[in-house]
Chain A
Amino acid sequence: MRGEKTHSVRGLERTYRTGSYEVHALRGVDFELCSGELVALLGPSGSGKSTLLNLLGGIDRADGGEIWFRGEELTRFDDRALARYRRRHVGFVLQSYNLIPSLTARENVELACAGAEGPIAAADALELVGLRPRMDHFPGQLSGGEQQRAAVARAIAKRPELLLCDEPTGALDSRAGVRILELIERCSVELGAATVLVTHNAAIAAMADRVLSLVDGSIAEARGNAPRRNARDISW
């Protein structure tokens, strides 16, 4: 279900330096993202998947190469412009749910929608993930699966153009995990967001339109899934 092109990545490089050590996390990555498309980044630990996701989300800075978002070069944004980009266009779902523990599920969603254009009402977003009855609970009062569902609601409520999911099922059992994947799949389709799903699990990658396999910071293989599998049919 590919729509118009949202992101272009060219020759992207990222190197981490710790003392005299250098780790080349990304070594010249090129690809494009379109709205409504679900792309899986597949690869073992240390292959650069999360680094690529962080750069796309504007929470890290590249050492070389370019990322273009709708005609603007993201890699040239200053901190303020990056914050604005994240606020308006990006939704994150991470392995650690990263909910604010002092805010209820509903308040967590409301917080993320501040400054977004035409967001989904917090209660509706939580309804979408099946959490409406527990929306006034604090994260400490929710199970891991519920917390991750709240995190998905928070990510989608602002109607992001880019939904970034980093091992979203990593801390969940398989049943709860599949439920999260179903939600991500549905949001990708219904909201038309470009969705990037980082996983090291090939079974999960089967739900993507495209799979980019990363090895040592480079895209070793790019393939399409035709047809892609439904999330509910995935198991591991």
Chain B
Amino acid sequence: MNALPILQRKLLRELGRIAGQAAAIILVVACAVATAVMSFGVLRSLEQARAQYYERCRFAELFVSLPRAPESAAEAIRRQTGVEAVQTRLVADVAVGLAGVDDPIAGRLLSLPERGEPEVNAIVLRRGRWVGAGVALEVIVSESFADAHGLEPGARLSVLVGGRSREMSIVGIALSPEYVYALGPGMIAPDDRRFAILWTGRRVLESALGAGGEFNDLAIRVKEAAALDDVARQVEAVLAPYGAADVHGRERQPSHAFLSAMFHQIAGVGRIAPAIFLAVAAFLVHGVLGRLVESQRQHIGLMKALGIGDAAIGWHYLELVLVLGAIGIAAGLAAGTILGHGLTRLYAGFFHFPNLSFRHDPPSVLAACAVALAAMAIGAYRGVRAVSRLAPALALAPPAPPGYGRTWPERLAPWGPTGGTTRMVLRHLGRFPLRAALTVMGLALAVALQIAMLFSFDALDRILDFQARSEASDFSVLFARPLPGAAIEEAARWPGVLKAEAWRMLSVRLGSGVQAHVVNVTGLAQSARLRTLLDADLVAVPVPRQGLALPGKLAALLHVGVGDSVTLQPVGSRRTLELPVARIVEQYIGLDAYMDLDALNALLPGDPAIGGTDLAIDPARRGEFLRALKGNGIVAGISERSAVLASFRDTMLRTLTLIVSFFVAFAALTASGIAFSSAWITLSEREREFATLASLGFGAAEVSRILALENAILVGLALPLGSVLGYGLAWLVAQRLDTELYRVPLVVSAHTVAIAVLVVVAATLLATWTVARRLRRMDVAAVLNATQ
């Protein structure tokens, strides 16, 4: 036992001797722990922030929207079993005007109860006061919108609702759990400058919409989550006399659904990436410790001869590895905490929570540490076992020379042009095939991980390309109410308009068998050019004259294909129609069905009508156009295509750039670690061979070339394998991100593969160069004369 402190001193000196390899192992472990700490910490912080927010505001479990229903219907719902609380509301999409702002601003105006806070879906007042009772034109505005425009209580804005523009006074600034992630109509990413959430008194909205004693929106809390489906059925039954209602749970509430998808994604990264890093760390430990034990077999024999037990010596080497693991864990915890804070700050920029700060997730931190140490121990297993099994007499003798043979490429092509040094490299790799295979696998994983992350940019490009090809309009204008077809001619006369195309959008329940989904169906004219349907190859296809064009995802959800029939029930209507699926189209964001405008009008009672228009305008007259539409009673909302795409691109780039950069950097570190370790082991094992070559007159560059060739072969095998694995991993990521909100196209560009490949090649070159420098400083005479 007295020997142990000395062994620990030896341990510290060993660490100094293998500083480069130790650093590689520490870095990879740190990457694993940092990724886990960051991912699960951010996930926990977001989940807790959401749960507390929902609890505080009594966030609904069930959401209903329908054209109109009387308060008595809500009373009936309150009496249903399982219902805890019901909040009736009036909700309207409106156009908002701010003095000095030409850009179109979409707004969603929600009613607040005349007295007290909402029973369900309360809001958090951040500044100012509640709106007064009665018909005072007062509003509370969302904090993100207020901050984007520097608005404070006391400021004024105009709201175009019910065909009339009203000047309203801002009395408060608030946050709502329904809009943690706030998407305005027609938007594919949050745009705080162009989307406002507004709350006003119920009577103001009743008067504006002419809806006295009626509601068009319900938020319901249930007593038990398990009873949700039963309650939903009861609600549908109660509301049936008022036409089909869109009744859905949190899974289709846009903000909640987006957050859940994001959580799912973060959890996925938190599980997969650390596992890859730890596998690599275990492999590095396996190689480095194996080599250390081999090079120290005479020390081990001596320690055993001196009477130090197998367990103590085994523990000495395991301790060495665990110390590296512990340093890696400490570095990973620190890096993960810093990165976690950074990522949380980034998320706080577009997730609007009252409180969001980074917190560690202790169980996953502990799990990450334990798994990291376990990975170290697994990696050390063979080395430590070899130490324990080495008989002292055998250990003191030099090891038997390694047995080599011809490799299969030589046997297959003995006339091959391989030179002496090439044969040395091939036979050395062939002598240790498992090590070579693991090195190739490790480098391949570094390539794969990058591809799986970098392809997000390709997918983003594809989505932007899709949007650009499918929507050529500059503006899309939503009318306050359906207008006769002739309204398109008036729109065409608005200042600056070059082209105007009509459309009509309807909220419908599409069903097939037991499957049903509430989606928008848009009717497009056959002559439409500003909006185009695209197939899976992004080739324009015509709007079917009969039947529906469905995005592939919606068709899959409904279990239908071309030629099958689906039922269609407009929300608010009791009529159910049957239509064939005429075409499957591509759509990456949202779930919308399309059909011919005339065919859609023919299905609906009343005269043919249009609900809005897509416009191409003269860019020089944009300001004039927007000013002319301000306060126009027929306009309920305007969205500008370029702004929608810009906000989408900016949002995606902001999140992707940070996260993808982490992973590319981590993968580069991993690749360097593997290549460095591989080259170091080669150098350490074959120092005598290299010294012999030097004595034979081979220059340092020629000897270094052997190291380089060996790494080049390993990298050469790893790159194609990594590219294939990367494609597979990207497919997994795309599958994981495939939701009703959006689909991630599986596109891996040559550019992405090139970056992943170049990073690994550069990391390998750097590692090889570092080891080759040590080779140049080798004392040839000392190595040659050392006893074997």
Q: Do A and B come from one complex?
A: yes
From A84, A90, A112, A141, residue with most partner B Cβ within 10 Å: A112
Q: Are A100 and B689 in contact (CB under 8 A)?
A: yes
Per-position 1/0 for B749-788, Cβ under 8 A of A: 0000000000000000000000000000001110011111
Decide yes or no: A114 and B420 within 8 Å by CB, A83-B694, A83-B699 being known contacts: yes
Contacting residue for A102 out of B400, B424, B697, B781, CB 8 A: B424
Q: Which of A87, A102, A154 has the most CB of B within 10 A?
A: A102
Q: Say whether B697 contacts A115, CB under 8 Å.
A: yes
A136 closest partner in B (C-beta): B406
Q: Is the CB of B403 within 8 A of A138?
A: yes
Bound: A50/B424 CA distance, A:
29
Check if B698 sits within 8 Å of A83, measured CB to CB. yes
List residues of chain B with CB within 8 A of the CB of A103: 404, 420, 423-424, 427
Evaluate contact between A102 and B784: CB separation under 8 angstroms. Answer: no
> What's the Cα separation between A90 and B781 when bound, in Å?
14
Asked if A216 CB lies within 8 Å of chain B CBs, one says no
Interface residues of B in 679-723 (CB under 8 A from A): 688-689, 691-700
Report B-chain residues with C-beta under 8 Å of the C-beta of A107.
420, 423
Q: Can you list, as one digit per residue, whether each of A70-113 has a CB less than 8 Å from chain B (1) or not (0)?
A: 00000000011001111110101011101111110001001110
For residue A232, give the distance in angstroms from its CB to the closest CB of chain B.
28
Residue in chain B with minimal CB distance to A57: B695
Q: Interface residues of B: mostly helix, strand, loop or mixed?
A: helix
Interface residue B513 (Cβ < 8 Å from any Cβ of A): no
In the complex, chain A residues 135-179 whose Cβ is within 8 Å of any chain B Cβ: 138-141, 154, 166
In-complex Cβ contact of B697 among A85, A98, A101, A139 (8 A): A85
Docked pose: A84 CA to B696 CA in angstroms = 9
Question: Any chain B CB within 8 A of the CB of A54?
Answer: yes
Residues in B neighbouring A138, C-beta threshold 8 A: 403-405
Known: A85-B697, A100-B424. A140 touches B781 (CB 8 A): no
User: CA A111 – CA B692 in complex, angstroms?
Assistant: 11
Is A203 in contact with chain B by the CB < 8 A criterion?
Answer: no
Smallest CB-CB separation from A138: which chain B residue? Answer: B404
What total of A-B pairs shows CB separation below 8 Å? 97
Chain A contacts of B786 at CB under 8 A?
Answer: 96
| B606: interface (CB < 8 Å) | no
A60 at the interface (CB under 8 A from B): yes
Among A54, A57, A85, max chain B CB count under 10 A is at: A54
B-chain residues with CB within 8 Å of residue A87 when the two chains form the complex: 696-698
How far does the alpha carbon of A114 sit from the alpha carbon of B702 in the complex, in Å? 12
Which residue in B419, B688, B697, B787 is a CB contact (below 8 Å) of A86?
Answer: B697
Docked CA distance A115–B699 (Å):
12
Q: Does B16 reach chain A (CB closer than 8 Å)?
A: no
Give complex CA distance A83, B701 in Å: 11
Contact between chains at A54 and B423 (CB < 8 Å): no
Interfacial chain A residues near B202, Cβ < 8 Å = none
Tell me if A59 counts as interface (CB < 8 A to partner B). Answer: yes
A96 to B781 alpha-carbon distance, docked (Å): 12
Shortest CB-to-CB span from B427 to chain A, Å, is 4
Interchain CA distance A24-B783 in the complex, whole Å:
20
B423 nearest CB across to chain A (Å): 6
> Nearest Cβ in chain A — how far from B408, in angstroms?
15
Q: Are B404 and A102 in contact (CB under 8 A)?
A: yes
- Residues of the A chain whose Cβ atoms lie less than 8 Å from the Cβ of B781: 50-51, 54, 59-60
* Across-interface contacts of B431 in A (CB, < 8 A): 102
Verify B401–A166 contact, CB threshold 8 A. Answer: no
Report yes or no: B785 in contact with A102, Cβ–Cβ below 8 A: no
A79 and B700 contact, CB distance less than 8 A: yes
Q: Does B605 contact A (CB under 8 A)?
A: no
**Chain B hits for A51, CB < 8 A:** 781
Tell me whether B428 is interfacial, beta carbon within 8 Å. yes
Hey, which chain A residues are within 8 Å of B700, CB to CB?
79, 83
**Max chain A CB contacts within 10 Å: which of B403, B696, B699, B788?**
B696
* Minimum CB–CB distance for A196 against chain B, Å: 14
Contacts of A50 in B (CB 8 A): 781, 785
Q: How far is the CA of A114 from the CA of B422 in the complex (A)?
A: 14
B402 touches A (CB below 8 Å) = yes
Instruction: Tell me how far the C-beta of B431 lies from the nearest C-beta in chain A, rounded to whole angstroms.
Output: 7
Asked whether A98 and B402 contact (CB < 8 A) given A59-B781, A111-B420, the answer is: no
Expressed in whole angstroms, the minimum distance between the Cβ of B457 and any Cβ of chain A is 44
Contact B688 A140 (CB under 8 A): no
CB atoms of B696 and A102 under 8 A apart = no
Residue of B nearest to A110 (CB): B420
| Interface contact A139-B780, CB-CB below 8 Å | no
- Known A-B contacts A102-B423, A102-B431, A103-B423; the reply to A59 vs B695 at CB < 8 A is yes
Cβ–Cβ < 8 Å partners of B698 in chain A: 83, 87
Q: Contacts A88-B697, A96-B785 hold; do A102 and B427 have CB atoms under 8 A apart? A: yes
Inter-subunit contact A98/B688 (CB<8 Å):
yes
* Contact yes or no, A96 B405, CB < 8 A: no
Residue of A nearest to B689 (CB): A100
CB neighbours of B689 from chain A (8 A)? 100-102
- Measured CB to CB, the closest approach of chain B to A51, in angstroms, equals 8
A59 touches B424 (CB 8 A): no
Contacts of A57 in B (CB 8 A): 695
In the complex, what residue of chain B is closest to A108 when comparing beta carbons? B420
- Binary flags per residue of A51-73, CB closer than 8 Å to B gives 1, else 0: 10010010110000000000000
Of residues 73 through 116 on chain B, the ones whose CB sits less than 8 Å from some CB of chain A are none
Separation of A50 and B787 alpha carbons in the complex (Å): 14
B787 neighbours in A (Cβ, 8 Å): 96
CA of A132 to CA of B449, assembled, Å? 53
CA distance A54 to B691 in the complex (A): 12
CA distance A178 to B427 in the complex (A): 34
Contact assessment for B427 and A96 in the assembled complex, using a CB-CB cutoff below 8 Å: no
Residues of B near A80 (CB, < 8 A) are 699
Which residues of chain B are within 8 angstroms of A59 by Cβ–Cβ distance?
A: 694-695, 780-781, 784
B201 to chain A, nearest CB (A): 87
Annotate B387-430 by CB proximity to A: 1 below 8 A, 0 otherwise.
Answer: 00000000000001111110000000000000111011001100
Residue of chain B at shortest CB distance from A81: B699
Closest to A54 in B: B781
Determine how close the nearest CB of chain A comes to the CB of B4; give it in whole angstroms.
27
A120–B423 Cα gap in the complex (Å)?
22
Picked from B400, B691, B699, B788, the residue with its CB within 8 Å of the CB of A140 is B400
What is the distance, in angstroms, from B17's C-beta to the closest C-beta of chain A? 16
Report whether A98 and B784 are in contact in the complex, using a CB–CB cutoff of 8 Å: yes
Given A60-B780, A96-B786, A166-B785, A101 and B694 contact (CB-CB distance below 8 Å): no
With A and B bound together, what is the CA distance between A171 and B727 in angstroms? 56
Chain B residues lying within 8 Å of A83, measured Cβ to Cβ, are: 694, 697-700
The residue on A at minimum CB distance from B425 is A102
18 contacts between A and B (CB under 8 A): A51-B781, A57-B695, A60-B781, A80-B699, A83-B700, A87-B697, A87-B698, A88-B697, A100-B420, A100-B689, A100-B693, A102-B689, A110-B420, A114-B420, A138-B403, A138-B404, A138-B405, A140-B402
A interface residues with partner B (beta carbon < 8 Å): 50-51, 54, 57, 59-60, 79-80, 83-88, 90, 92, 94-96, 98-103, 107, 110-112, 114-115, 138-141, 154, 166
Known: A59-B694, A96-B784, A101-B401. 17 other contacts (CB 8 A): A59-B781, A60-B780, A83-B694, A83-B698, A86-B696, A88-B697, A98-B691, A100-B692, A101-B404, A102-B423, A102-B424, A111-B420, A111-B693, A138-B403, A138-B405, A140-B401, A154-B696
Q: Ordered nearest first, which 6 A-B pairs have the shortest CB separation?
A: A87-B697, A111-B420, A86-B697, A102-B427, A54-B781, A83-B699
